[in-house]
Homo-oligomer: A and B are copies of this chain.
Amino acid sequence: MTGIERFRLFLKEKGLKFTPERRKIVEEIISFHDHFDVETLYHRLKRKVSLATIYRTLPLLRESGLIREVLRCQGRAVFESVWGHPHHDHLICIVCGKVIEFEDERIEKLQEEVCRKFGFQPVEHRLGIKGYCKECQRKIK
């Protein structure tokens, strides 16, 4: 199943409509795997879809498991496409803003274990470690 099909199905199940605007948004999101904020997405869509519609569509994309919010950068929410990409977490440099992605299956497993322990059904999770990247540590010293 493609991401677009997935979204279409999700909308159908909820009795919502698959509009041209929503199609453009999903297509754009799936074609890139970088981090993006709303403004960036808006420009990538060449302003063919209004900001209001983007803001109204993002929650649906989250619910359907196509994107997730990874972090906040100066008040702005930053998302990433999740479809077809292995889950990973982030190291965020508080000096230069660089983001390093990493995967650790063991951490994932332990999280699942914790959820079971509390009878909690996880939907989305986010692990962000803020600190100084290698380069910025040097600069400071």
Contact = CB atoms under 8 A, between A and B. Distances in A.
B128 A125 contact: yes
A137 B124 CA distance: 15
A102 B115 CA distance: 10
B124 A120 contact: no
A9 interface: no
Given A72-B72, A120-B100, A115 B131 contact: yes
A131 B137 contact: no
Q: How many copies does the complex hold?
A: 2
Contact of A126 (B91, B102, B117, B127): B127
A56 interface: no
Interface residues of A, number: 32
Nearest to A69: B72
A114 interface: yes
A110 interface: yes
B114 A94 contact: no
| Residue from A127, A129, A137 with most neighbouring chain B CB atoms (10 Å) | A129
